[in-house]
Amino acid sequence: PAAEQALQSFCGLAATADAEAPSAGEVAEFNAHLQTMSGTVVNPSADPVTCSAGLPTIAALWLALEGMGGADILMCSTAYGGSSELTDLCLTRENLRKSTFHIQGGASFNGSIEAALGALAADPASLRPTTVLFVEIPSNPDQKMPDLAQLAASCEAYQESSGKQLLLLVDTTFAPASEVLGRIGDLAPELGAMVFVSMSKSVSRGETTAGALVANHTPGSQALLHASREVAEMLDVTARQDQMLRLCRNHVGVEERCERAYENMVLMAGVLRGAVKTHTGHDMPVTMVGPEHAAQGFTSSTFSFNLPAPAGATPEVKAALAQRFVDLLTEDAERFKPCVSFGQDNGLVYCTVPATSTQGAIKEEDKAQQAQGGVQLARLSFPPAIDAPRVQARIESACAAIYA
């Protein structure tokens, strides 16, 4: 509607599009809900910063940090490709520096972070004033969960040994209602922490793109929030009226939508594992958020897996297997979609091979570590409502086809 209105004005027509705005009360309710879902106290003086999509939100934060003397950004080598690439683009600013930690395969989530923080702290003279530890919880694409107590302890130890402020920035896009800031606050009450969430998925039900920053109760995090808001306004990337309207009309119920999507995901992971076992005899591991973390609100509707190679398969067949499986599923375009996104409330199961889609910008050697036995990782994401018998039948027939 915002674009339509601009075109109407440009053509000299009456600007009838984009006339409706959310009320101040609806916006206040939305902001309070974002703070509650992120696990921090409702505080209108630190309202979340809402931008037109997830990535401009991150850009506003990085540029705000650059204006505050700079930052060392530590993020996962296999983080969402857009976040990785955007961060790399911002590194042309000499006040920003990025390093990575690795969590693919058998690597330990906490151990890798601890080692990377240790490496930074070993050279304190080279550090910028703020260190940002940017972590997707659960992780993309393999849905790993860190031990939060150990993570909080590592952040505190780093501040002590380096003498620098650390901001723990959590990307909660996969599980927006996990209240993760509250858990972190219980473990490390003084630690500066912030949530970044892409709301282009489950928060808006897919009705609009958007992204938000939510600060925890600490003064450092709130100061950075205010600086990010100023940068977002200056760059003109704050959410438009039509986006705010859609966010205000769709955010209610996201917790319950995520729970239903999680249940669908668990059900269909069982179907997939059963079908693979029938055809190959293998108990294929599936990486997903387990019931203990789901009960805490980390209800991600995504799982990923490396299909076992068919007996006697050539390297070419193995290399093509994950995409072939996705292609077979998505032949049923009414129930499956080849897409990197997730969380939308449209009855479609989103299927992708992250190495060639969401992780387009990730280094080849990092992506290669996700392959097993020559077969790349595949990822499926489930909506709150599915046609379960048909989805099950399609997963079973796709397995039958690749192992025929």
Ligand X SMILES: Cc1ncc(COP(=O)(O)O)c(C=O)c1O
Q: How far is the CB of 364 from ligand X (least distance, A)?
A: 21
Q: In the complex with ligand X, which residue's Cβ is closer, 83 or 159?
A: 83
CB of 102 within 8 A of CB of 144?
A: no
Distance between CA 210 and CA 53 in Å, rounded?
Answer: 4
State the residues that interact with ligand X by CB under 6 A. 53-55, 80, 82-83, 136, 140, 171, 173, 198, 200, 209, 211, 341
Q: How far is the CB of 125 from ligand X (least distance, A)?
A: 33
Q: How far is the CB of 358 from ligand X (least distance, A)?
A: 6
Distance between CA 66 and CA 24 in Å, rounded?
Answer: 32
Residue type for position 274:
G
How many other β-carbons are positioned within 10 Å of the β-carbon of residue 262? 22
Q: How far is CA 340 from the centre of its chain?
A: 11
DSSP annotation of 323 reads: H
Q: In the complex with ligand X, which residue's Cβ is closer, 280 or 341?
A: 341
Q: In the complex with ligand X, which residue's Cβ is closer, 53 or 402?
A: 53
Rounded to 10 degrees, what is the CA torsion of 336, 342, 344, 349? 20
- Which H helix or E strand runs over 128? none
> What are the angstrom distances between the C-alpha of 19 and each of 4, 5, 15, 363?
11, 9, 8, 45
Q: How far is the CB of 171 from ligand X (least distance, A)?
A: 5
The residue number whose beta carbon is nearest to ligand X equals: 54
Q: How far is the CB of 361 from ligand X (least distance, A)?
A: 12
Q: How far is the CB of 73 from ligand X (least distance, A)?
A: 15
Q: In the complex with ligand X, which residue's Cβ is closer, 178 or 209?
A: 209
Q: In the complex with ligand X, which residue's Cβ is closer, 144 or 318?
A: 144
* Cα-Cα-Cα-Cα dihedral sign, residues 61, 202, 362, 99: positive
Backbone angles phi, psi at 337, to 5 degrees: -140, 135
Q: In the complex with ligand X, which residue's Cβ is closer, 258 or 398?
A: 258
